Amino acid sequence: MPAGTLYLVATPIGNLGDFSSRARQTLESVDFIAAEDTRVTKKLLTALSLPFKPMVSYFEHNRRQRGEEILSRLLDGQSCALVTDAGTPAISDPGEDLVALCAQHAVPVIPVPGCCAAVCALAASGLPTGRWCFEGFLSVNKKVRRTHLAGLQDEKRTMIFYEAPHKLCQTLCDLQDAFGGTRRIALSRELTKLHEQTLRMTLAQAVAYFSETPPRGEFVLIVEGAPDPSDEAQDDDRMAQALEQVKTRVAAGETRKDAVKMVSAALGVKKNALYQAALALEE
């Protein structure tokens, strides 16, 4: 293990089986661990039968001073593993500043990859994954939040947001205001855990659904990018695909109304237009 290196060790976001053998080896071999919450990390080490190591805390409110201390130990030749409570350090987690500090002082930084909730949810979303942008948590400050969302109004890439359950309903309303109710969203909660779930619907449906079903667990929101106005062919393709699905559902015994409701939500096509097209097809 090279001396004076910072290792960014990803930890599970729920399922301990996702902790890699390389992550294990790294935690066993470093000189010390910098942890977001040392109590959480001690529990993890115990659950994984890993030996305790000298540990320091590194979190939002001590990151300046503690960052300097960690840097100084790294420059002295010690190796450090940075871990957070869950997932990949430095992604909406403490660590970004420490990595920047190491980069400034030419200290090697080595990622030891594992779970990142954003990427897991994106992969499972069913939305385009070719181009995407990570937006993290929206600010609780209303003005900052509004400006952030206004800046995303023409964003064509798939967007990724993090959200806590108690703020989810407000965030869904704000996303609907910014992007319109027909925009598709995939909501992944409790990823890798017992009650893991990915819901795919439109923003309007998500607002309605969560006004009746209290959100539980941590969420990742994957929001479809803005449609390209010049790309009418894509809209036509989606409508043709939706019509096919309605036809199949009706043939299987579903009412036209129910089939249109389900398919329009899943594919993000306008419900009325789809209903009229399905009607015309049958006539």
Which residues contact ligand SAM by CB under 6 A? 13-14, 84, 86-88, 91-93, 116-118, 162-164, 188-193, 218-220
DSSP code at position 153: T
Nearer to ligand SAM by Cβ, of 174 and 218: the residue is 218
Nearer to ligand SAM by Cβ, of 142 and 216: the residue is 216
Alpha carbons 143 and 153: distance in angstroms, whole number: 16
As measured in angstroms, the least distance from the Cβ of 46 to ligand SAM is 20
Alpha carbons 53 and 268: distance in angstroms, whole number: 51
Q: What is the CA radius of gyration of the chain?
A: 23
Alpha carbons 80 and 191: distance in angstroms, whole number: 28
Nearer to ligand SAM by Cβ, of 13 and 243: the residue is 13
Answer whether 249's CB lies under 8 Å from 263's CB: yes
Nearer to ligand SAM by Cβ, of 182 and 188: the residue is 188
Helix (H, G, I), strand (E, B) or coil at 161: strand
As measured in angstroms, the least distance from the Cβ of 14 to ligand SAM is 4
Nearer to ligand SAM by Cβ, of 92 and 170: the residue is 92
Nearer to ligand SAM by Cβ, of 190 and 235: the residue is 190
As measured in angstroms, the least distance from the Cβ of 255 to ligand SAM is 35
Angle (CA) 90-95-101 rounded to 5° is 125
Closest-CA residue to 265 (of 279, 246, 237): 246
Alpha carbons 30 and 88: distance in angstroms, whole number: 18
As measured in angstroms, the least distance from the Cβ of 192 to ligand SAM is 6
Alpha carbons 207 and 92: distance in angstroms, whole number: 25
As measured in angstroms, the least distance from the Cβ of 2 to ligand SAM is 25
Type of residue found at 247: K
As measured in angstroms, the least distance from the Cβ of 11 to ligand SAM is 9
**Residue 17: alpha-carbon gap to chain centroid:** 20
Contacts of 147 (CB under 8 A, 6+ apart): none
- Write the CA distances from 25 to 28, 29, 51, 78, integer angstroms: 5, 6, 11, 16
Alpha carbons 83 and 24: distance in angstroms, whole number: 12
Instruction: Report strand pairing: 80-83 vs 32-35.
Output: parallel
> In the complex, which residue's CB is closest to ligand SAM?
87
As measured in angstroms, the least distance from the Cβ of 43 to ligand SAM is 16
As measured in angstroms, the least distance from the Cβ of 10 to ligand SAM is 7
Nearer to ligand SAM by Cβ, of 167 and 271: the residue is 167
Nearer to ligand SAM by Cβ, of 197 and 241: the residue is 197
